């Protein structure tokens, strides 16, 4: 479809080891679960790797897209009052 | 105040604390229940049951600790014990079934969606909201659950592990698979919204 990795094949082996590691912690980075060491390793790699940079953008986009677009339902008022009254009546 | 006294609250004091600490979570909790059961009445029942259990065990709840995670855990256990058993949902995720679902989904058939691609209207926004919710709801419940907890409710991996009674490693791998399923489904909507990160890409849709 879009950009392929073919043009980057010159430095494959060295790059791939880093890319594998970066991709393996990608979601931890997005979820703010990565250590500061992992973070600096990660972002440093992004500066020099277009593919990983894009993978990161996509993953980040998915998360914010979900948060933005899954509508939240309002709690029925009757549910709140029911819970409160049952609780008050409970000994 | 002695500890004994703190543990044996008057009914009035207990109710006051219960409402102050636990009722503010009802919004996220209700939404979680709804996304699990996909039914408003079931969500109602589930939330009600969760609060009654929480009230019964409120003496064990440590004030100031993570009320939201505690309630989510109770709700998730109630869901498994009382709701999931009734349904015919397989206990384990059938990946083939999920995959074939996505394969049979006719993406090309929705010409109307493509036509709206350059409109940034409220209507489009709402339409996309429905589609996103639909995509999320179509995931197996275990997958849906981790997406909700992590991406919508912002729980940490550790909190999720406690809520779901699974190791953190399992949280991570489940989240990963869940996101991959969702990604496929959502990519076209992301493009519709103009969120496509790769602007160099050639989109060979003729318009």
Q: What is the mean pLDDT of residues A16-40?
A: 95
User: Which CATH number fits the domain that encloses residue B153?
Assistant: 1.10.10.10
pTM of full prediction above 0.95: no
Quote the domain boundaries for residue A42.
6-89
- Regarding whether B175 and B123 lie in a shared domain, the answer is yes
Distance CA B141, CA B146 (A): 9
**Per-residue pLDDT at B157:** 98
Interchain pair B198, A54: CB under 8 A: yes
Q: Is residue A42 part of a domain?
A: yes
**pLDDT digits 0-9 by tens, B130-154:** 888 889 998 999 999 999 999 999 9
Distances (CA, A) of A39 to A60, B69, B100, B140, B173: 15, 27, 37, 32, 20
Distance CA B36, CA B137 (A): 8
What total of structural domains would you count in chain B?
2
Kindly report the nearest CA distance between residue A90 and chain B, in angstroms.
Answer: 9
Q: Is residue B47 part of a domain?
A: yes
B127 Cβ under 8 Å from any chain A Cβ: no
**Percentage of chain B exceeding pLDDT 90:** 50
Q: Is residue A1 part of a domain?
A: no
**Residue B66 DSSP symbol:** -
Closest CA to A34 of A20, A48, A21: A21
Interchain pair B11, A76: CB under 8 A: no
A58 Cβ under 8 Å from any chain B Cβ: yes
What total of structural domains would you count in chain A?
1
With vertex at residue B19, the alpha carbon angle to CA B34 and CA B45, rounded to the nearest 5 degrees, is 30
Q: What's the ipTM?
A: 0.82
Distances (CA, A) of A33 to A59, B178, B182: 15, 18, 21
Closest chain A residue by Cα to residue B24: A80
A6-15, A45-54, B13-22, B27-36: lowest mean pLDDT where?
A: A6-15
- Phi first, then psi: give them for residue B85, nearest 5 degrees: -60, -40
Quote the domain boundaries for residue B37.
3-84
DSSP three-state, residue B87? coil
Domain finish residue from B61, B84, B107: B84
Longest Cα–Cα distance of chain A, Å, equals: 74
**Per-residue pLDDT at B62:** 81
- Regarding whether B152 and B122 lie in a shared domain, the answer is yes
- Regarding whether B99 and B79 lie in a shared domain, the answer is no
Tokens of B55: 């009230």
Tokens of B155: 């729980």
Distance CA A74, CA A88 (A): 24
**Contact yes or no for A51/A5 (Cβ under 8 A):** yes
């Amino acid at each position: 479809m879009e950009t392929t990795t073919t043009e980057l094949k010159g430095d494959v082996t060295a790059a791939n080891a880093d890319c594998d590691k970066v991709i393996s912690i990608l979601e931890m980075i997005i979820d703010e679960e990565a250590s500061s060491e992992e973070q600096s390793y990660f972002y440093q790699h992004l500066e020099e790797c277009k593919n990983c940079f894009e993978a990161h953008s996509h993953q980040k986009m998915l998360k914010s897209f979900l948060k933005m677009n899954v509508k939240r339902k309002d709690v029925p008022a009757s549910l709140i009052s029911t819970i409160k009254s049952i609780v008050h009546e409970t000994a | 105040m002695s500890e004994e006294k703190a543990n044996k609250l008057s009914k009035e004091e207990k109710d006051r604390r219960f409402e102050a600490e636990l009722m503010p979570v009802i919004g996220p909790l209700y939404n979680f229940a709804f996304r699990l059961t996909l039914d408003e009445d079931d969500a109602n029942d589930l939330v009600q049951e969760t609060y009654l259990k929480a009230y019964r065990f409120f003496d064990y709840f440590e004030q100031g600790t993570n009320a939201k995670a505690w309630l989510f855990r109770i709700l998730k256990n109630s869901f498994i014990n009382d709701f999931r058993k009734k349904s015919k949902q397989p206990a384990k995720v059938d990946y083939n079934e999920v995959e074939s679902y996505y394969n049979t989904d006719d993406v090309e058939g929705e010409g109307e969606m493509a036509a709206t691609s350059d409109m940034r209207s409220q209507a489009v926004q709402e339409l996309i909201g429905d589609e996103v919710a639909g995509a999320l709801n179509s995931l197996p419940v275990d997958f849906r659950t981790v997406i909700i907890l992590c991406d919508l409710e912002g729980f940490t991996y550790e909190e999720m592990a406690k809520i779901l009674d699974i190791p953190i490693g399992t949280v991570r791998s489940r989240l990963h698979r869940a996101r991959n399923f969702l990604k496929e489904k959502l990519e076209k909507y992301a493009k519709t919204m103009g969120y496509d990160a790769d602007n160099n890409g050639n989109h060979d849709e003729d318009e």
